[in-house]
Amino acid sequence: MTARLSLRGVTRRFGPVAALDGVTLHVAPGEFLALLGGSGSGKSTLLRVIAGFEAPDSGTVQLDGADLFGVPPHRRPVNMMFQSYALFPHMSVAANIAYGLKREGLPRAEITARVAQAIAMLRLEGMETRKPHALSGGQRQRVALARALVKRPRLLLLDEPLGALDANLRERTGFELRAIQRESGAAFVMVTHDQAEALALADRVAVMDRGRIVQAGPPREVYDRPSTRFIATFLGAANVLEGTRTEDGALDCPGAGCTLRAEAPLPEEAAAVALRPERIRLAPEPGENTAVGTVEESAFRGDSSLLLVRMQGGATLRVSHAEEDGAPPPRGATVRLAWDRDDVVPLLP
Amino acid sequence: MKALLRLVPGLWLTLLVAAPLALVAVLALSWQADGVPPYEPPWAGQGLNPDNLRLLLEDPHYRDSLLQSLVVAALTGGLCLLLAAPMGIGIARAGRWRNVLLAAVLLPFWTGFLIRIGAWIGLLRDEGWINAVLRALGLTQDPIPLLYTDGAMLLGMVHAYLPFAVLPIFAAATRLDPALEEAAADLGATPGHSFLTVTLPQLLPALAAAFLLVFIPAAGEYVIPELLGPPDATLVGRVVFQEFFQNRDWPVASALALALLALLTGPILLYQRLGRAG
């Protein structure tokens, strides 16, 4: 299957700073990709390069195999949903949605039909004649989405699509977005700084840091097997344990007061491993991959409690203790922690 | 303290706006007379004089002067708009040059108004710089009459009022969201289309305000038509001056001034509405 979108070695510099540093990325037709990164990671610049608002200094951008170099934004079969929504304040909801279709010069009847269809799809009935300022945040978000989707783009770009919504609306709108993406069949590329959003919505997550894509893969894979320390701490706030690699490929970690052993010997250059808080359990017996510490703090989180455990070597581990495993150990208790080999994830520097 | 704060503008309005206006209204209903001052107020025995106001409607000289003033003011406003729209939008988008360009627009205010008009006379007269250059280039032998023409008058008006038109357009253009033009481009609009359908409609209130800000003072302008315009440009400002100082007919001059004010109340109210909306 050929890729819908192919980026190869895309670099964009702003003065001495490389906002994008050799980004290579492929998006399949119908795929929902999340670009996840902090502010300044280059994710928004990447989106603007795809839309045509920024020209890359080097590298190529291809849509269905056709090079987009020098193609201005208004001639790209790509549409974008802006972070601020960028609705036209002097136009009604219907006029906003129809704007892109009018530019295509479609017959009036078809424009009317497609606008009505988009309005029905995004549950905006009754809002047609309102101006954007008379809409709620969630309604504006849906108008912005309708305005982009009504063009039936092959690729839809979404810049923090849920960013301006409150927490309640976010979850519901996230599910809607997912359903709309399946229904429309377009490839979606979404920029977000919210890891939960990226993991929940996307088929594939590409984590960006300082202008590079540091890891791309299905959400579960990126979450379970982060490849670098940055990803491990950015996604789900894993414990990062540092130490020295032993002869037989384990990690001797003085901070935790133990030796951590993974399924396979650690790579030569690994000097740290990640350990997810929810993969650490309490163990009755000493043994391989166990260590002793004292509970310093305990915070109740509904379905679990987050424990901060001070290890004998001085390091602090975050441990998620599931409610179904019984009451968590009290503050000050000495506990033995254990984990499986499979949960020890080697990190590259 | 609050009462005092209200007293100051109240006093200002009474002394400098309401009182002179009332005086003008009384004058317009008075009788011309020989003497100092050259009029007789209605309470001196002859009663109210309706002839001055009636004269404005009946005598084409006055009617035309009012009409001509409105036409010249509209032309000045239109030309200013044509120049100020690209200037205001351009300056708003000039990045780090913005403040320099804005200062350049305001720079003429640092020179006396009459000196600037004098400079135009120096440029435009028969022995002026422009004719000298044209002759030196061999484009003409006899000087082309430039000064004391409608063109020179409009040039002077546009020159004097342009900054007033640039400022509101600039202010509105800085408030535009650049994402909107990007959104238009993203949806398939060419830059021209995007300007016409997205940028321009949002600037309409500012463009109307800029036009009125020029139109209203230009309608009563006296100095520029006098110094640069043709002798037959009988604009209302000039006619008021002639009636007042040459014919010593204060009542007719006052009636003319009142008529101009009445004609301008519509545009002034419109301008204030736009100001509130913006």
| Average pLDDT for chain A | 91
pLDDT digit string, tens, across residues A62-111: 999 999 999 999 999 999 999 999 999 999 999 999 999 999 999 999 99
Locate the chain A residue with the closest alpha carbon to B198: A88
pLDDT digit string, tens, across residues A110-123: 999 999 999 998 88
Q: pLDDT category, A349, cuts 50, 70, 90? A: confident
What's the N-to-C CA distance of chain A in angstroms? 34
CA distance B87 to B105: 9
Locate the chain A residue with the closest alpha carbon to B200: A90
B251 upstream amide cis, omega within 30 of 0? no
C-beta atoms of B186 and A90 within 8 A: no
For chain A, say whether B46 makes contact (Cβ under 8 Å). no
Give the closest-approach CA distance of B185 to chain A in angstroms: 5
C-beta atoms of B180 and A86 within 8 A: yes
C-beta atoms of A100 and B187 within 8 A: yes
For chain B, say whether A132 makes contact (Cβ under 8 Å). no
Choose from A44, A45, A88, A114 for mutation: most chain B CBs within 10 A.
A88
pLDDT digit string, tens, across residues B181-197: 999 999 999 999 999 99
Q: Which residues of B touch A79 (CB under 8 A)?
A: 186-187
Mean pLDDT for the stretch of residues A146-158: 94
Q: Which residues of A touch B194 (CB under 8 A)?
A: 74
Q: Which of A2, A4, A3 is nearest to A154 (CA)?
A: A4
Give the closest-approach CA distance of A168 to chain B in angstroms: 27
How far CA B113 is from CA of A324, B109, B225, B265, in Å, comes to 86, 7, 14, 27
Q: Which residues of B touch A52 (CB under 8 A)?
A: 185
How far CA B170 is from CA of B162, B175, B243, in Å, comes to 12, 9, 40
Mean pLDDT for the stretch of residues B45-69: 90
Q: Which residues of A touch B179 (CB under 8 A)?
A: 82, 84, 86
Q: How many CB atoms lie within 10 A of CB A16?
A: 5
Choose from A74, A79, A80, A106 for mutation: most chain B CBs within 10 A.
A74
A88 and B187 Cβ atoms separated by less than 8 Å: no
For chain A, say whether B174 makes contact (Cβ under 8 Å). no
pLDDT digit string, tens, across residues B148-157: 999 999 999 9
Provide CB contacts within 8 A for A286, sequence distance 6+: A336
Nearest CB among A72, A78, A88 relative to B180 is that of A88
Mean pLDDT for the stretch of residues B144-168: 94
B109 and B163 Cβ atoms separated by less than 8 Å: yes
pLDDT digit string, tens, across residues B129-141: 999 999 999 888 8
C-beta atoms of A100 and B188 within 8 A: yes
For chain A, say whether B182 makes contact (Cβ under 8 Å). yes
B60-277 is classed in which CATH architecture?
Orthogonal Bundle (1.10)
Q: Which residues of A touch B193 (CB under 8 A)?
A: 103
Q: Which residues of B touch A90 (CB under 8 A)?
A: 201-202
What integer pLDDT is reported at residue B275 of this predicted model? 66
Within the 39-58 window of chain A, which residues sit less than 8 Å (CB to CB) from chain B? 51-53
What integer pLDDT is reported at residue A233 of this predicted model? 83
Give the closest-approach CA distance of B276 to chain A in angstroms: 17
Q: pLDDT category, B278, cuts 50, 70, 90? A: very low
Choose from A54, A81, A82, A96 for mutation: most chain B CBs within 10 A.
A82
Q: pLDDT category, B225, cuts 50, 70, 90? A: very high
Mean pLDDT for the stretch of residues B77-88: 96
Locate the chain B residue with the closest alpha carbon to A81: B183
Give the closest-approach CA distance of B212 to chain A in angstroms: 22
CA distance A85 to A164: 9
Burial, A77: exposed, middle or buried (Cβ in 10 Å; 0-12, 13-18, 19+)? middle
C-beta atoms of A73 and B180 within 8 A: no
CA distance B48 to A333: 104
C-beta atoms of B193 and A103 within 8 A: yes
Give the rounded distance of the alpha carbon of B246 from its chain centre. 24
Give the closest-approach CA distance of B186 to chain A in angstroms: 5
C-beta atoms of B177 and A84 within 8 A: yes
Is the interface score ipTM higher than 0.90? Answer: no
pLDDT digit string, tens, across residues A43-67: 999 999 999 999 999 999 999 999 9
C-beta atoms of A103 and B180 within 8 A: no
> Residues of chain A with pLDDT > 70: what percent?
100
C-beta atoms of B186 and A72 within 8 A: no
Give the rounded distance of the alpha carbon of B39 from its chain centre. 30
For chain B, say whether A80 makes contact (Cβ under 8 Å). yes
How far CA A254 is from CA of A273, B49, B181, B203, B229, in Å, comes to 13, 108, 57, 67, 94
How many residues comprise chain A? 349
Residue B224 pLDDT exceeds 80: yes
Locate the chain B residue with the closest alpha carbon to A79: B186
Mean pLDDT for the stretch of residues A209-229: 92
How far CA A317 is from CA of A263, A297, B10, B72, in Å, comes to 21, 11, 72, 81
pLDDT digit string, tens, across residues A253-303: 888 888 888 888 888 888 889 999 999 999 888 888 999 999 999 999 888
A282 and A309 Cβ atoms separated by less than 8 Å: no
> Residues of chain A with pLDDT > 90: what percent?
64
Locate the chain B residue with the closest alpha carbon to A95: B197
C-beta atoms of B179 and A84 within 8 A: yes
What integer pLDDT is reported at residue A327 of this predicted model? 86
Residue A1 pLDDT exceeds 70: no
CA distance B155 to B161: 10
Burial, A30: exposed, middle or buried (Cβ in 10 Å; 0-12, 13-18, 19+)? middle
Q: Which residues of A touch B184 (CB under 8 A)?
A: 74, 88, 99
Show me where the domains of chain B are located: 60-277
CA distance B232 to A211: 71
Nearest CB among B179, B188, B202 relative to A103 is that of B188
